[in-house]
Structure 1
Amino acid sequence: MMPNTRRDTTPNASHKQPALPVIDLRDFTCLDRRRDFLATLRHAARDVGFFYLVGHGIDDTLIQQIWEVSRRFFALPQAEKNAISMVNSPHFRGYTQLGHELTRGVPDRREQIDIGAELPALDLSSNDPAWMRLQGPNQWPVRLPELREVTLEWSATLRSVAIRLLRAFSVALEQPEEALDGLIDKAPAQLLKLIRYPGSHQAHERQGVGPHKDAGILTLLLQDEHPGLQVKRNDEWLDVPPRLGALVVNIGEILELATNGYLRATVHRVLVPDAGVTRYSIGYFLSPCLEGSVPLLPLPEHSPKDALGPESDPNNPLFREIGPNALKGRLRSHPDVTERFYPEFLL
């Protein structure tokens, strides 16, 4: 999947100009390329918010395994997938049927399974804040035990890549390399999504995922060969085609908060493919630990003039308190889980 060379190609179009900046993570530890790497990273995160990441070091065998187990999961009988439905989980873990996750109130045409850090549920009282219920175990299909093994290994591998990248961001912002480690040094709150987008020719079924920003720190996305991801830039939608051997990376709202808007989380969406085509993707979301709040980095003197504060959306306010921020997004996206386990938040 990813040769150990500097050459990186787009399937069937190796000479096309890449839609996004291409960043090689190996350059972060290479003294003669580090300065250019940091400048490119800073530009990509501030001006685009998305980039292709190569040189991540993920083993080809693991990439093949995650694709295989993902397709095998979605090929399970519907009843077996429904047996681990997210509506059974107060932790928002498990399977979501087509059209059962909402983006800004509109159903998305995708089915998926959400897998978080494999942790026990906390022993809570009625006086504990509701966001503490987010920690808990995953749900696993009985007839596909390898799903657990492969996805937890994938999550651990992607977490390592994402943390290396997060530390590179700190250095690019002229901060100590460990400046943002406090966001991730407690119980992990990461999320992995295996996603399937069945095609459609109906105009009202084109929303695979509606326009949104990611709520976490960093997102690392593995795409199959079918296009669909789009990034909004200058009020236009830019296609982000698959690129062989590369992950697509975007920054989340937590980095926007931590830099007072110097870095911007970018609006993006996914369009479903045409009828007869199925698109798969695998998204890893590095999220902050649920306890605590988002720090405000002391940016160098030449940066604050470009830090205009995080964007304000009255329909989706951002909180510096991490737990309430995380819960807010899940409640909005999964009203069936909200109704069953968090009825106190229903209007």
Structure 2
Amino acid sequence: MTSLQLPVLDISLLHGNAVSRQHFLQQLAVAARDIGFFYLTGHGISTGQQQQILQLARQFFALPEPEKQAVSMVNSAHFRGYTQVGGELTQGRVDQREQFDIMREQTALALNSAMPAWQGLVGPNQWPAALPLMQTALLQWQQQLSELSVTLLSAFAQVLQQPATAFANTLQDGAYTHMKLIRYPGTSAVAQQGVGAHKDPGYLTLVLQDQHSGLEVLTDNGWVDAAPLAGAFVVNIGELLELASNGYLKATLHRVVSPPKGIERFSCAFFMAAQLDATVPLLNLPAELAAQAKGPASDPNNPLFYQVGENVLKGRLRSHPDVARKHYAALTQVV
């Protein structure tokens, strides 16, 4: 494990004068190009709000098993709800974490065979009856992080020397947002896979961590510990931004190592992508940036699609085979 620290960026500079804005954009360009991960401070979301979300995670995962299973993800064709330890796969291997997933609160569509399968992702969330305040708190939190992510995405457009609104048409009907509360149980095993090495599929990811380490980022110098930084979010670039920039921006492999025996680690991960019916634009970069674009580093075993809904559904089917078997049996042979 290398001792290299991820960059720390203060987004409040983006709202200052021209000099401070340019300073932030320069820092963002370096972080995005060289590592693809950074800490974000100055975002205006209080530590009190952050701690409330982590406390909700602790309360949910402390519920009796039957109450968690009542909102099991396998009940939802929209991939919302609870997944027990060992219920999710990364790169075909079992992850040692339990989680609770929500997305935008929507009405399910009346599907027919002429509609693309990814429209099955649209629908309502499941909510535990024992925590009646959870729905309001998490949906409000999701909205706050959506707004912060849109601001960041506009900054990334400027880094790429595009108009600040370059991605606006892919968000005009509402971004695809996906959030999960996560608990990693401790283990006596060495280097147990909390979640395996992977890249995130969307535009951006924001992660709120408790006080325990575990998140690791693969850099040119090896794996780097993204240790918790009080008040900061860990931000990383997803594959959609890598696609849009033809590989100029970097979607980076990362993983979570399980905490030691006797320790529980809690986090909240928020993922923002374009709306499901969008097609990711391939930006026309200026010559000096285009010359440095390496093309998206697509895994041949996990091809990327420019159509957002298709890409999202592919990832969901691979990660949650039980939901895939129950609700998407006709597709499980082709993902």
Which moves more between the two structures, 61-70 or 240-249? 61-70
Question: Among 303, 312, 318, which residue is 1:326 paired with?
Answer: 312
Q: Deviations over 1:148-198 (max 9, x none)?
A: 011001101111111111111111111111111122211432011100000
Q: Which residue of 2 aligns with 1:344?
A: 330
Q: Give, in angstroms, the shift of residue 235 of structure 1.
A: 6.2
Task: Give 3-state SS (helix, strand or coil) of 2:260's partner.
Answer: coil
Cα distance in 2 between the residues matched to 1:346 and 1:161: 35
Q: 1:36 deviation in Å?
A: 1.5
The question of whether the paired residues in 2 share the 8 Å contact of 1:260 and 1:310 is answered with: yes
Match of 1:219 in 2: 205
2:195 matches 1:209: yes
Aligned to 2:160: 173
Partner of 1:80: 67
Aligned match of 1:303: 289
Cα distance, 1:19 vs. partner?
A: 1.1
Q: Select which of 272, 278, 291 maps to 1:292.
A: 278
- In structure 2, give the amino acid aligned to 1:248: V
Partners of 2:134 and 2:15 lie apart in 1 by 33
Residue 244 of structure 1 corresponds to 230
TM-score (norm 2): 0.96
Partner of 2:303: 317
Provide the rounded CA distance (Å) in 2 between the counterparts of 1:109 and 1:262.
Answer: 33
Which residue pairs with 1:6 in the alignment?
none
Q: Is the 8 A contact 2:202 2:271 kept in 1?
A: yes
Partner residue of 1:10? none
Out of 40, 43, 48, which is 1:56 matched to? 43
Identical-pair percentage:
52
Distance 1:29 1:346 in 2: 46
Q: Does the CA-based 8 Å contact 2:96-2:195 persist in structure 1?
A: yes
Q: Structure 2: how far apart are the matches of 1:24 and 1:239?
A: 20
Q: CA deviation at 1:122?
A: 1.0
- Residues 68 and 312 (structure 1 numbering): CA distance in 2 closer, same or farther, change over 3 Å? closer
- 1:22-61 per-position Cα deviation (integer Å, ceiling 9, x unaligned): 1000111212211121111011011000000000001333
8 Å CA contact 2:317–2:332 kept in 1: the answer is no
Q: Secondary structure at the match of 2:184?
A: strand
TM-score normalised by the chain length of structure 1: 0.93
Amino acid at match of 1:51: F
Matched, 1:275 2:261: yes
Q: Distance in 2 between matches of 1:288 and 1:235?
A: 32
Give the aligned residue type for 1:334.
Answer: H
Confirm or deny: 8 A CA contact 1:135 1:189 kept in the other structure: no
Question: What amino acid is aligned across from residue 279 of structure 1 in structure 2?
Answer: R
Q: Which residue of 2 aligns with 1:8?
A: none
Question: Do the aligned residues in 2 keep the contact of 1:69 with 1:146 (CA within 8 Å)?
Answer: no
> Structure 1, unaligned stretches of length 5 or more?
1-16
Which residue type is aligned with residue 236 of structure 2?
N
Q: Is the 8 A contact 1:26 1:55 kept in 2?
A: yes
- Structure 2: stretches of 5+ with no match in the other structure: none
Aligned residues of 2:46 and 2:231 also touching (Cα < 8 A): no
Alpha-carbon distance, 1:123 to partner = 1.7
Kindly report the root-mean-square deviation, in angstroms, between the aligned alpha carbons of the 2 structures. Answer: 1.2
The structural deviation recorded for 1:64 is 2.5
CA–CA separation in structure 1 for the residues paired with 2:222 and 2:49: 35
Partner of 1:40: 27
Aligned equivalent of 1:141? 128
